[in-house]
Amino acid sequence: AQSVTQLDSHVSVSEGTPVLLRCNYSSSYSPSLFWYVQHPNKGLQLLLKYTSAATLVKGINGFEAEFKKSETSFHLTKPSAHMSDAAEYFCVVSGSWDSKIIFGSGTRLSIRP
């Protein structure tokens, strides 16, 4: 069985400071891991994905995530937050043949001016 836990329901940072959104996963086999972003009244957009290649994955808009098997983590980071980053972020795990994906409960990112 697979599951994913997002450790923070809400994160607030000041513009220009680093962002860290935490995600831990559980999977009985080698997973694929994704981060999606959802802006208000907009669809889910893929930020980045890990599929057993390089453990440090770079995505769009300056985001990146590091797969750490020993810690079963896939935290999302960005060096410098921008006001446009304010949104809901979802960590997602997949890996079975049916490509069914499991979403975390989401982390709402707020950016203070």
Partner 1 sequence: DTGVSQDPRHKITKRGQNVTFRCDPISEHNRLYWYRQTLGQGPEFLTYFQNEAQLEKSRLLSDRFSAERPKGSFSTLEIQRTEQGDSAMYLCASINNWGSGGEETQYFGPGTRLLVL
N-to-C CA span, the chain: 41
Among residues 14 and 110, whose Cβ is nearest to partner 1? 110
**46 lies in the binding site for partner 1 (CB under 8 A):** yes
Minimum distance from CB of 113 to partner 1 (Å)?
25
Nearest distance from C-beta of residue 14 to partner 1, angstroms: 24
Cα 87 to chain centroid, rounded: 12
Name 41's Cβ contacts closer than 8 Å, sequence gap at least 6.
none
Least distance to partner 1, CB of residue 39, Å: 11
Question: Residue 36: CB partners within 8 Å, gap ≥ 6?
Answer: 44, 45, 46, 47, 89, 90, 92, 103
58 near partner 1, judged by CB under 8 A: no
User: What percent helix, strand, coil does the chain show, rounded to 5?
Assistant: 5, 55, 40
- State the binding string over 3-32 for partner 1 (x if CB under 8 A, else -): ----------------------------xx
Residue from 7, 8, 22, 51 touching partner 1 (CB under 8 A): that is 51
Q: Is 34 in the site for partner 1 (CB under 8 A)?
A: yes
| 74 near partner 1, rule: CB under 8 A | no
